[in-house]
Structure 1
Amino acid sequence: MTAEVDAYLSALPDDQRAALSDLRARLQILLPDHHEVMSYAMPGFRQPGPKGKMVVGYAAFARHLGLYPHSGTVIPLIDCAPFKTSKSGVLFTPDRPLPDALLSQIIATRQAELAAGYGKR
């Protein structure tokens, strides 16, 4: 846990803070050896090591929350229905969080993409 992430979450309305705190805990279980960081002004998790790539980030907005696997190719590969999606993320609300199975599938797809060399130069 980082102070920056704690500060980000503490500034949110109660319902968003609770939902993203729960998401954070679930991501920590799925990514136990990853570094918790702020990237692109959102909390997230980076691979271990000095050149670790971002795996996933999450954020709160006025009318929704979002999960972003830091790749434009992950979300289009996954059936995220009934949630709204963009090319880079899946949107949800505090009263309708992402199911564990969907969250696990997004993380597994992103990790497979990174293992295959996505983002290496």
Structure 2
Amino acid sequence: MKSKIPKSIDEYIENFPKEVQLVLQKIRKTIQKEAPNATETISYAIPTFVQNGNLLHFAAFSKHIGFYALPSGNQAFQKEISKYKFGKGSIQFPLNEPIPYPLIKKIVKFRVDENLEKVNKKVSKKKIQVQKKKS
């Protein structure tokens, strides 16, 4: 990839060879399908989806796709990601193996639900505080 920071996910994807572009676009479409209300952006110079906070990031490297579902996404899918190289908040999907789109779909759905739950807890907490003040 060129060294300048892309302004959009399209611009990011354009910087890679055609075969990698196809993988990146399919990952993007998988995320969009599971998180249709998410906003696309570039954060940390890589594609990012935001909905009620950061959902996830993904990036292409010479031999793998990095998928960053934050620590909670990895913790929830320990068994499924165990066959891949992974860290606290990252998973590496090798480009010379089939990309696990069904797993990506499950992780995205988990993160959407998790972020929504956090928002609902905050809203409930605020409602309780407002009710206490009125009492």
Match of 1:87 in 2: 88
Structure 1, gaps ≥5 residues long: none
Shift of 1:25: 1.1
Count how many residue pairs are aligned between Structure 1 and Structure 2: 112
> How much has 1:14 moved relative to structure 2?
2.1
Which deviates more from structure 2 when the two are superposed, residues 17-26 or residues 77-86?
77-86
What is the one-letter code of the residue matched to 2:88? K
Contact 2:27–2:101 (Cα < 8 Å) also in 1 = no
Question: How far apart are residue 41 of structure 1 and its match?
Answer: 1.0
User: Which is helix-richer, 1 or 2?
Assistant: 2
Match of residue 113 from structure 2: 112
Task: State the shift of 1:29 in Å.
Answer: 0.8
In 1: Cα distance, 2:74 partner to 2:22 partner: 24
**Structure 2 CA distance for aligned equivalents of residues 21 and 44 of structure 1:** 13
**Contact residue 15 and residue 94 of structure 1 kept, 8 A:** no
Q: Which amino acid aligns with 1:114?
A: N
CA–CA distance in 2 between the matches of 1:94 and 1:18? Answer: 11
Q: Kindly, what percent of the aligned residue pairs are identical? A: 27
| Cα-Cα RMSD | 2.0
Tell me if structure 2 keeps the 8 A contact 1:37–1:43. yes
Deviation at 1:43, TM superposition (A): 0.6
Kindly indicate whether the alpha-carbon contact (under 8 Å) linking 2:35 and 2:112 is maintained by their aligned counterparts in 1. Answer: no
Q: How far did 1:105 drift?
A: 2.1
Q: What are structure 2's unaligned runs of at least 5 residues? A: 1-6, 123-135
Q: What secondary structure, in the 3-state scheme, does the structure 2 residue paired with 1:74 have?
A: helix
- 1:104 CA drift (Å): 2.2
Q: Say if 1:19 and 1:97, in contact at 8 Å, map to a contact too.
A: no
Amino acid at match of 1:13: P
TM-score by length of 2: 0.72
- Structure 2: distance between partners of 1:18 and 1:37: 19
Residue of structure 1 in register with 2:74 after alignment: 75
Q: CA deviation at 1:76?
A: 2.3
User: Matched residue of 2:88: which SS?
Assistant: coil
* Counterparts in 2 of 1:97 and 1:42: CA distance versus 1, 3 Å: farther
Q: Identify the residue that residue 56 of structure 2 maps to in structure 1.
A: 56
CA shift, 1:92, in A, is 0.8
Q: Which of these residues, 5, 9, 18, is aligned with residue 9 of structure 2?
A: 5
